[in-house]
Amino acid sequence: MKPAISFCLIFYFICSGLYTVAQKKALADDAKKAMLDATKYMVEQVSVNGGYVGTYLPDLSRRWGELEFYKTQIQVQSDGVVSMGNIFLDAYAATGDEYYYQAAEKAAKALIWGQLPCGGWNYIIDFAGDRSLKNWYNTIGKNAWGFEEFNHYYGNATFDDVTTSDAAKFLLRIYLQKLDISYKPALDKAIAFVLESQYPLGGWPQRYPLKYDYPHHFKDDYTSFYTFNDDVIWGNIDFLIQCYVTLGEERLLDPIKRGMNFYLITQQGNPQGGWGLQYDMDLKPAHARSYEPPALVPSATYEHCMLLLRFYEYTGDRRFLARIPDAIEWLENSRLPQNETGGGRYTHPVFIEAGTNKALYAHRSGTGVIDGRYWYDYKDEKPLLHYGAKTNVPVEKLKEEYKRIASLSPQEATKNSPLKIESFQNDITPQQYYETAWPLDDGPDVARRKYNASVKIDESQVRKIINSLDAQHRWMVKHIQISRPYAVTNDGVETNTAKLSDEGGRGIMDASDQEYLSTREYMKNMQLLINYIKQKENPVATIKETPVYEVLKAAKPVKIDGNWNKREWKNIKAANIANYMGKIPAFRPVAAAKMMYDEENLYLIFQVKDRFVQCVTLQYNGPVWKDAAVEFFFSPDTDTPGAYFNLEINCGGTALMGYHNTAQKKSIQIDSNDIKKIEIAHSLPKRVYPEIVDPVTWTIECKIPLRLLEKYATITTPGRAVAWRANFYKIAEQGSNPHYITWSLVNNPKPNFHLPEFFGVLKFHN
């Protein structure tokens, strides 16, 4: 051990990522240069009249989105012109560089060029005009097996994949940016189209103006049906709400309210209180594509219930809450049998038959449009893979949200409603507010505008992204799914033009080292650099968000018995472990930790309110993280914050421990005989199997000898004014409810606890 001195504490904060202003400015300048270089290439070399598709060969000789495209075409769907236009406006907001605004203007002009006379948009804009687009549909579109929405040329607009509503939102956004009146006619035209296409009952069709000319596989043309799938109805409601807030037009209120009310009209009666993806004119669940049966859909039911909760917050009308319990009851009664959950990965089938409540599974056979077929039945063998057969529905999350929001009075619920009659209480106008704190949609666009400065950006990742630009200032990718160009065999047979996939529909990735230019990769890297620049401009806010846990000194040695409620812990503040990494689990455990110390030991206790608990690892240094487990990662040397211990203990009290020095690239496993010197108490049995599905509260308490740590590393003795870095975790990698939870937020795309740069602070007191 070594004594603590003030210099060590200062050095600790330097090593925690607080670079000098000059260093931060240099990296930010490099980030801005990389952003501008990459954007200039996309705008000046890749775009077609300001528009884009998703993927290109390096020489731009081929390009595709969901399907192969002509060089004269751009896509309006995700990863195309709308997505790129939004990222340009994000970059403009972060940097003030007019080049980005000009790039967004080009995207907007491309959209306006492709806006149909009716006011909406098709999936594709073809600058070669109608004859070229029809030829595309007659060749590439017609032969795209599984992409039935492209098999027929309708000549009208689509709401599918929020194509029209997202394009309209982008025009609204760029109009509000500078109130440039040149964008207002196209925006007004889009608003008029959304209003005209709404059915009297409040829903919208998939395509409009209505057409019925493509019966498919002996089934009615489904494009006129009321359509929830791919956010058709919600996308339009959200667009109209944004227009109502920013443009202030009272005429939009009635369509908004009818749209919300349509969710109530279409909920099925008990005992199947769920929803389908589309409905016929008799309001019965209807078919769509060949692999989409007239069925109820658990995932859509969950999403609709979450929207109904939001509608209550918009209106204060408790009708939107009234039948959510019916939907929850149906979801509970429709769970898959345990032996069909894929080891806990799934909770529900994708489709459930109306009336019988039996699971329906889609299948396919063949090689293309000519010889291929889709069908559905009750068997889950060899299911359709490109659409999915089973899913995970977070019913517990829905229950928690319903309980929370239903407890609010109408006045409390509508406190921040965009539809509430009140004066606008802000120092800026609603038009400016749209760009800074838009409160409505929790999709990706709004996530950008709600940027959270407390999410720390890994500067090594920033540098990696900057350095990954190639000589032409491109971010390239490998191993993606590629499309197939239109082709005809020697026998005159047209071949499948859908992306490469196996017989079940699973995408086949290019295993070679071929590189591709991807708008998605460009946008992903731009977004991280944009967020870094925002963070750099307000570093103090980020520093304040680093959590600090005050570690008090124990008055006397603590008896290790696993009792969370005993006197010694009663007045000790808990560190709440509540930040999720990766996918949010269906059930969210409630976990917390408390800590004390004395001259010889660290004392630590965890409490977890849990479900789906299992514990099968019994040997020291075994894979305890796969079980329900808690973990304590800590850097005890203030001079070397990148060196840390990881102590991981499953709910049965079996431990794993290691020591890592990132600077030296050294990792060692702590000897099991030394781990046994850590006294551990656990409230659950050593082995828990089968898993405990019902609610259970369990604890882990331990005593860590400081001399044990000293055997493997230099440590700064705990005491007044000493600060270590650390993080507390809760994990369960296997079982029915996998999750990764942290005390100090870890900003990483994949779950990874071994990132000491995201540790919080343990501040010791006498």
What per-residue confidence (pLDDT) applies to 545?
62
Counting Cβ atoms within 10 Å, is residue 282 exposed (0-12), middle (13-18) or buried (19+)? exposed
**pLDDT value of position 390:** 95
| Model pLDDT for residues 142-191, shown as the tens digit of each residue | 999 999 999 999 999 999 999 999 999 999 999 999 999 999 999 999 99
**Is the pLDDT higher at 99 or at 666?**
99
Model confidence at 648: pLDDT above 50:
yes
Average pLDDT over every residue of 207-232: 94
Phi-psi region of 123 (alpha: psi -120 to 50; beta: other; left: phi over 0): alpha
Question: Is 728 in a helix, a strand, or coil?
Answer: strand
pLDDT for res 542: 40
Instruction: Tell which wins on pLDDT, 400 or 64.
Output: 64
What's the per-residue H, E or C state across 118-170?
CCCCCCEEECCCHHHHHHHHHHHHCCCCCCHHHCCCCCCEECHHHHHHHHHHH
- The pLDDT tens digits of the residues spanning 550-596 come to 999 999 999 999 999 999 999 999 999 999 998 888 889 999 999 99
How far is residue 357's CA from residue 351's CA, in Å, rounded to a whole number?
9
- Tell me how far apart the alpha carbons of residues 726 and 405 are, in angstroms, rounded to a whole number: 35
Q: Determine what percent of the chain is predicted with pLDDT higher than 70.
A: 92
Does the pLDDT of residue 4 top 70, yes or no? Answer: no
- Contacts (Cβ under 8 Å, ≥6 apart) of 153: 133, 134, 137, 138, 141
**Cβ–Cβ < 8 Å for 173, 526:** no
Residue whose C-alpha is closest to residue 292's, from 208, 384, 218, 199? 384
Residue 458 · residue 757 · CB < 8 Å? yes
pLDDT band at 544 (very low <50, low <70, confident <90, very high): very low
What is the pLDDT at residue 766? 86
Average pLDDT over residues 350-372: 95
The yes-or-no verdict on residue 688 having pLDDT over 80 is yes
- Report pLDDT digits (tens) over 14-35: 344 444 456 667 999 999 999 9
555-to-98, 564, 569, 570, 766 alpha-carbon distances in Å: 62, 17, 11, 13, 10
Pairing of strands 643-650, 629-635: antiparallel
Strand, helix or coil at 15?
A: helix
> For position 13, what pLDDT does the model report?
41
Q: What is the dihedral of CA 530, 535, 536, 539, to 10 degrees?
A: 180
Place of tokens 């343990």: 762
Looking at the chain, the whole-number percentage of residues with pLDDT higher than 90 is: 79
Instruction: Give the pLDDT of residue 433.
Output: 59
Whether 538 shows a pLDDT value over 60: the answer reads no
CA distances from 562 to 481, 608, 679, 687 (A): 51, 12, 11, 17
Which amino acid makes up residue 482? I
Q: What is the pLDDT of residue 425?
A: 65
With H, G, I as helix, E, B as strand and everything else as coil, classify residue 219. strand
pLDDT greater than 60 at residue 450? no
Q: Are 457 and 529 in contact (CB under 8 A)?
A: no
Closest to 641 in 3D by CA, of 567, 556, 546: 546
- Total Cβ atoms within 10 A of residue 708: 17
Judge contact between 191 and 256, C-beta under 8 A. Answer: no
pLDDT at 435: 52
> What is the average pLDDT score of the chain?
90
Residues whose CB falls within 8 Å of the CB of residue 301, separated by 6 or more in sequence, listed in order: 274, 275, 327, 330, 331, 393
For the entire predicted model, the pTM comes to 0.72
Supply angle C-alpha 492, 493, 499, rounded to 5.
Answer: 135
Instruction: Please tell me the predicted confidence (pLDDT) of residue 541.
Output: 37
pLDDT band at 453 (very low <50, low <70, confident <90, very high): very low
Question: Residue 364: is its pLDDT beyond 60?
Answer: yes
- A 10 A CB-CB count for 60 gives 12
Quick check: bond before 271 cis, omega within 30?
yes
Q: Could you please report the per-residue DSSP string of 411-433?
A: HHHTTT-TTS-S---SSS-HHHH
Q: What does the pLDDT read at residue 439?
A: 36
Q: Are 601 and 678 in contact (CB under 8 A)?
A: no
Per-residue pLDDT, averaged over 42-53, amounts to: 98
Express each pLDDT in 255-280 by its tens digit.
999 999 999 999 999 999 999 999 99
| H helix or E strand, kind and range, residue 377 | strand 373-377
pLDDT tens, residue by residue, 469-506: 999 999 999 999 999 999 999 999 999 999 999 888 88
What gap in Å lies between CA 595 and CA 550, rounded to an integer? 9
